[in-house]
Each structure stands twice: as C-alpha cells, then as structure tokens.
C-alpha cells in the first residue's frame, strides 16, 4: 500500500516535513482553550513588546511563518511559527517579562520529552514556546524577566522550536470558532512584537514568497468553499478535546511558501476511492493553476474538480500528478467531497465513498 509523503522542494533544498515536530497542540491534557492558562487579568494593560531575541539570529537557519500545513497533526494552518535549524541545546531566553501561566510536557515516549510554556505579558497578550527543555525554576506562577534564561532548545527534536503569540483583542474570523483553541482564535505573528530592526532580521529568515512574511491562518469565507471544513460526524463529540484533532479536517487554503498557489490539505483518507489500487493517506496537495478559486466556489457552482499534485513540486503545471478531488457545496455550511487516486482522468462522479464535511 502506497503512502504519499509531503516533501517540500524549495530552490533545490528539500524539506522533509514528515519529520517536523509532532506538536498536536490541542488535546485534553494540553487545554489551550482554558482562559486562565492563556491570559491573566491581573497583569497590567498595554501592548506586548519583545525586547530580547529568544536566540541569536545567527543561530536561526530559517523560519516557517504562520499557516504551515503538515497533516494529520496540522491539517489546518498552524497558529505558530517554526524557528528551524537551531543547534540542539542552544539557550532560549524570554523575549519579554511576564508571568508563567502554563507549562505542558509533550510525551512521545522515553526518548522524546520536551515542553510548552505560556507566558503572560499583559492582561490581553501572551506568548508561548513549544519543544523546549525548560529549566527547573520555570514553573506556573513565577515571574520571568526579559532576557532571562528559560531553558534549552529541544535536544529531542534537534531542529528548533515553535513560537506563538496571542492577543485577546484579535479575533481570527473563523466561521465555527468553537472548533479552535485560544491560540488560534487570538493568533498574532510573534515577529510583529519585536522592534523594527529585529523584525527585519527575522523576516529575512522567513521562507515565504511575497511581501507578507507573517503568514495567514484563517481563510474561512461565509458561503464559499475557502477555508476549513470538519467531518460531519465530528459534530457528535468535542473534536477540540481529542488527540487526533487534525484528522477530522480538510482545508482549502493557499500555500504557506507560495501564497499564490491553491492548496488542499487532507487530514485522513475517509473520502478516498481507489482507482489505481493505491492508498491515499493524508497529505497536502497543490492544484492546477486554472482551477476554480476556492473563494469563488459557492453552492451554485455545482460539482468542482481539482487535479492534485505533490506539494513538494511547487509547480503544479510540471509536477507529479497524485489524484483527483471532486467537491460540491450542498449548502453554505455543508460540502460533499471525494478523492480518487486517478492521475489521468479529468472527471469523476460521486460514489458511495463520498463524505460530508461541515462548518
């Protein structure tokens, strides 16, 4: 049985994203929807300003902006940035003074343990790191100062760390907000909180074409195909509090590296129909450039067909075709979808394998 794996090719440099951090950030044990673990009303008001780099820019190989896709953990665009190619064991410093609101240890087995830490700076703004080995004195309730050592870049990931920012006055326009944690609902770019000179140095490290180096996490548009959709049966329970959260989603968004390219991110193969005898697996796909724009597809559009290409090719017109996806908006809040491993046909009809996704 063949599985497709996402390999991003960027100007001859190959990024194997299947080896990215397994940071399934939303689960019962890591409740980032808990208000008190993300914001502290007792902290002073004002803006969150970072005065200290967490690591020196010379230690950062590159930064992946908001909106990274890596199913099934990250089927929908991520609400944090990845600071990559940093030597394991590099000291991590607090970028701003604040209060430790939450810590959480990821446990992927005896050979993989590192942590998440959330630090409140004002009563409406916090920042967090993931995949760091925290010092023993970094505990919930303690106060840290800008420039204080927090711990070490993970020796288990050996790649870098994740960084996110939450601002309570920012509301990402998700159409079904109860499906998202506070780090998504109030997501902001952490780079924006640094002084301009540090911003410039960090943006120079970001792998994203165009002038918007922060990235984007929400593509939801009411009455349009664009954005995130969740499996209809997931409405029967609380997907936010499940360990396989991302597997229930499919996302019709734009590329994190090349924001001009339409991308379909699939969290599982529940709507897969085999034509060539392959197993689809979860994946990220680019679609053909002349395909119907997600933001233009409505219930009046009828069935829409997308040719799927390996996301590593970055040029769907010359890349390797992986399959065909058909989708129809039944109503403003319901779609029917099916994926075929057919690499030659241009049309298919829905079968009994088609599934309903909603928002």
Instruction: Identify the pLDDT of residue 19.
Output: 36
Q: If you average pLDDT over each of 19-28, 274-283, 293-302, which comes out highest?
A: 293-302
The model's pLDDT over 5-14, given as tens digits with 9 standing for 90+, comes to: 333 333 333 3
For residue 57 the two structure tokens come to 């820019």
Instruction: Identify the pLDDT of residue 312.
Output: 65
Q: Which residue has the tokens 């009046």?
A: 300
The model's pLDDT over 214-237, given as tens digits with 9 standing for 90+, comes to: 999 999 999 999 999 999 998 777
pTM of the predicted model over 0.85:
yes
Instruction: Identify the pLDDT of residue 124.
Output: 98
Of 203, 198, 199, 253, the closest CA to residue 225 belongs to 253
- What are the backbone dihedrals phi and psi of residue 157, each rounded to the nearest 5 degrees, phi first? -75, -40
Q: How many Å apart are CA 313 and CA 7, to the nearest integer? A: 8
CATH topology of domain 21-203: Glucose Permease (Domain IIA) (2.70.70)
The percent of residues above 70 in pLDDT, for the chain, comes to 86
Residues 205-220 as b/e (b if ≥16 CB within 10 A, e otherwise) read bbbbeeeebbbbbbbb
**Statement: residue 4 has pLDDT above 60:** no
Q: How many Å apart are CA 50 and CA 237, to the nearest integer? A: 39
Q: How many Å apart are CA 219 and CA 288, to the nearest integer? A: 19
**Statement: residue 210 has pLDDT above 90:** yes
* Residue extents of the structural domains in the chain: 21-203, 227-358
Task: Report, as an integer, the average pLDDT of 353-358.
Answer: 97
Task: Report, as an integer, the average pLDDT of 117-134.
Answer: 96
């Amino acid at each position: 049985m063949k599985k497709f794996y996402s390999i991003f090719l960027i100007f001859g440099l190959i990024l194997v994203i299947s080896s990215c951090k397994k940071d399934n950030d939303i689960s019962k044990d890591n409740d980032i929807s808990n208000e008190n673990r993300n914001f502290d009303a007792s902290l002073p008001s004002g803006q969150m300003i970072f005065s200290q780099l967490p690591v020196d820019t010379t230690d950062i190989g590159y930064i992946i902006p908001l909106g990274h896709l890596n199913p099934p953990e990250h089927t929908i665009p991520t609400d944090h940035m990845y600071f990559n190619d940093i030597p394991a064991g590099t000291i991590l410093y607090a970028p701003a003074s604040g209060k430790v609101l939450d810590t959480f240890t990821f446990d992927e087995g005896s050979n993989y343990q590192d942590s998440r830490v959330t630090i409140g700076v004002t009563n409406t703004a916090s920042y967090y790191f993931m995949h760091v080995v925290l010092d023993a004195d970094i505990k919930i309730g303690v106060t840290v100062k800008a420039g204080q050592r927090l711990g070490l870049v993970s020796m288990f990931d050996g790649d870098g760390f994740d960084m996110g920012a939450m601002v309570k006055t920012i509301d990402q326009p998700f159409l079904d907000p109860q499906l998202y944690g506070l780090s998504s609902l109030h997501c902001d770019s952490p780079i924006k909180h640094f002084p301009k000179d540090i911003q410039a140095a960090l943006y120079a490290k970001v792998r994203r074409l165009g002038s918007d180096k922060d990235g984007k996490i929400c593509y939801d548009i009411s009455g349009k195909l664009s954005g995130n959709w969740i499996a209809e049966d997931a409405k029967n329970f609380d997907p936010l509090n499940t360990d396989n959260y991302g597997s229930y989603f499919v996302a019709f968004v734009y590329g994190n590296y090349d924001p001009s390219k339409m991308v379909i991110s699939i969290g599982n193969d529940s709507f897969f129909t085999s034509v060539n005898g392959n197993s689809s697996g979860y994946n990220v796909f680019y679609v053909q450039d002349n395909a119907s724009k997600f933001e233009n597809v409505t219930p009046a559009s009828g069935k829409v067909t997308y040719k799927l290409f390996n996301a590593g090719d970055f040029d769907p017109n010359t890349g390797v075709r992986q399959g065909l996806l058909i989708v129809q908006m039944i109503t403003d809040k319901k779609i029917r979808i099916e994926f075929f491993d057919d690499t030659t046909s241009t049309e298919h009809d829905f079968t009994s394998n088609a599934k309903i996704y909603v928002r």
